Amino acid sequence: MQVHGFLLPPNRFPLLPSTPPSSIPIPTQSAAPLIRCTSTSNTTSQPLPLSISDAELAARGIRVRRCSAGLDLEALNAVFARVGFPRREASRLRVALEHTDALVWLEENGEAGEGAPVAFARATGDGVFNAVVWDVVVDPALQGTGLGKAVMERLLGDLRDRGIVNIALYAEPKVVGFYRMLGFAADPDGIKGMVYSRRKNKR
Ligand SMILES: CC(C)(COP(=O)(O)OP(=O)(O)OC[C@H]1O[C@@H](n2cnc3c(N)ncnc32)[C@H](O)[C@@H]1OP(=O)(O)O)[C@@H](O)C(=O)NCCC(=O)NCCS
Q: Specify the pLDDT at position 43.
A: 56
Q: What SS3 state is found at 141?
A: helix
Ligand 1 touching residue 3 (CB < 6 A): no
Q: Specify the pLDDT at position 171.
A: 95
Tens of pLDDT, residue by residue over 11-47, are: 333 333 334 444 555 544 444 445 566 654 555 566 7
Q: Specify the pLDDT at position 25.
A: 55
Residue 189 burial (CB < 10 Å; 0-12/13-18/19+)?
exposed
Q: Specify the pLDDT at position 202.
A: 73
Q: Are 139 and 118 in contact (CB under 8 A)?
A: yes
170 is catalytic: no
- CA-based end-to-end distance of the chain: 19
Provide the whole-model pTM.
0.85
Q: Give the position, in ligand 1's atom list, of the atom nearest the Cα of 143.
A: 8
- Give how far the C-alpha of residue 8 lies from the chain's centroid of Cα atoms, to the nearest Å: 14
Q: How far apart are CA 100 and CA 125, in angstroms?
A: 8
How many A from CA of 145 to the centre of ligand 1? 9
Tens of pLDDT, residue by residue over 59-97, are: 999 999 999 999 999 999 999 999 999 889 999 999 999
Fold for 7-19+50-201, please state it. Answer: Aminopeptidase (3.40.630)
Q: How far apart are CA 106 and CA 162, in angstroms?
A: 21
